Amino acid sequence: MRMAVLFGGLALIRCAHAPPPSAAPASTSVSANSVGDWLRLRTRAGSVAQGEATVLIEQDVIGRQTEAGGARHVAFEFKFFAEERVVSVDPASSAEFEARLRGVVAKGSEALDPQALKQVAMRLEAMKIHFRLSPQGEARALRVDDVAPPLDDKTARSIAEALYATPHAPMLPQAPVELHARWQEQVRLPGGLDVEGEMELRCRYDRRENSIATVVCDGELTAHKGSGRAMRQVVEKVHASFDLDVEHGEWISKSIEQSRQIEENLTVPKPMSVGVRQHVTVKWTR
């Protein structure tokens, strides 16, 4: 089906994500002399929460021309309710979640088949998302089950990671912090990108209104492999804003923008530069 081909192209950007390495668990206890706020997620086995989400994915293929002679551009927008159930909790490390997408509405570029988009939406509702979430907000061991055509595994994982695993690092600090405090985390690029590098994710405790704390994170990375006509380059940027209910230890909203550009210089059959640019926007509100 035509849609399967387009979605397969989308997976060029987000394929082969290895689960982020497990970080040392951080204690969630607070001493009587602690100064500042504990910015922590707290979970209870069996609890169910629902949030309204929009995931927008835009992709441009570099070096591949359409019949009209222009660069290929594809855009997808998915709106749905994300239902998350806590399966189990290990207070010392992380909680296990199962998530389902309900009421999915899919839109795409004018060239895409509307009926194929409807079928993709149905398959998104049928799939299950599993992941573990640390008290610091880092998602690990993400997987998607019950994926069926025209939705492919790589695209299903792309959407799940955009919603739950970006930016692949803890967003919350390891100790109590005061308003306007800053901290940073190192984020390794996925191995499937065939370059090595780490992004420095810089976060800050931006503001607090009543019990709602806002954390903002930014990161940027340029990584290379090879040189000259045999060079591969990855440029990635991420900007994320999270609202946390400090009293209840739960996310209230998320806003994430991630861009990634992969370029590679080829020498056969003739010298040319090829690659993919992708921009992902996620909006989630409880």
The answer to whether position 33 is within a domain reads no
| DSSP-based three-state secondary structure for 56 | strand
- The reply to whether 218 falls in a domain is yes
Return the pLDDT at 23. Answer: 38
Please give the model's pTM, rounded to 2 decimal places: 0.79
Q: Has residue 22 got a pLDDT over 90?
A: no
- For the ranges 21-35, 115-129, 143-157, 259-273, which has the lowest average pLDDT? 21-35
- Residue 196: the pLDDT is 72
Please report, for the domain that includes residue 57, its CATH number.
Answer: 2.30.230
Between 3 and 81, residue with greater pLDDT: 81
Q: What is the pLDDT of residue 267?
A: 64
Note whether residue 27 is domain-resident: no
Residue 26 lies in a domain: no
C-alpha gyration radius of the chain: 20
Mean pLDDT of 52-61: 93
φ, ψ for residue 42 (rounded to 5)?
A: -125, 135
Q: Is the pLDDT of residue 88 over 50?
A: yes
**pLDDT of 13 higher than 50:** no
Position 9 in a domain: yes
Sign of the dihedral through C-alpha 155, 22, 80, 193: negative
pLDDT tens-place string over residues 64-77: 544 444 468 889 99
Residues 6+ apart with CB under 8 A from 184: 200, 201, 202, 203
User: What CA–CA distance (Å, rounded) separates 83 from 99?
Assistant: 5
Query: What integer is the mean pLDDT of 8-30?
Result: 36
What confidence score (pLDDT) does residue 15 get? 34
Strands (E), the chain: 48-65, 71-89, 95-108, 128-133, 139-145, 182-188, 198-209, 212-225, 232-245, 250-266, 272-285
Domains in the chain: how many in total?
1
On average, the pLDDT of the chain sits at: 81
Average pLDDT of the residues in 160-188: 89
Residue 123 domain-assigned (yes or no): yes
Q: Is residue 32 part of a domain?
A: no
Give the domain range for residue 63. Answer: 2-16+39-285
pLDDT tens per residue, range 112-136: 788 989 999 999 999 999 999 999 9
- Residue 21 located in a structural domain: no
Residue 193 in this model has a pLDDT that exceeds 80: no
Catalogue the E-assigned strands of 69-197.
71-89, 95-108, 128-133, 139-145, 182-188
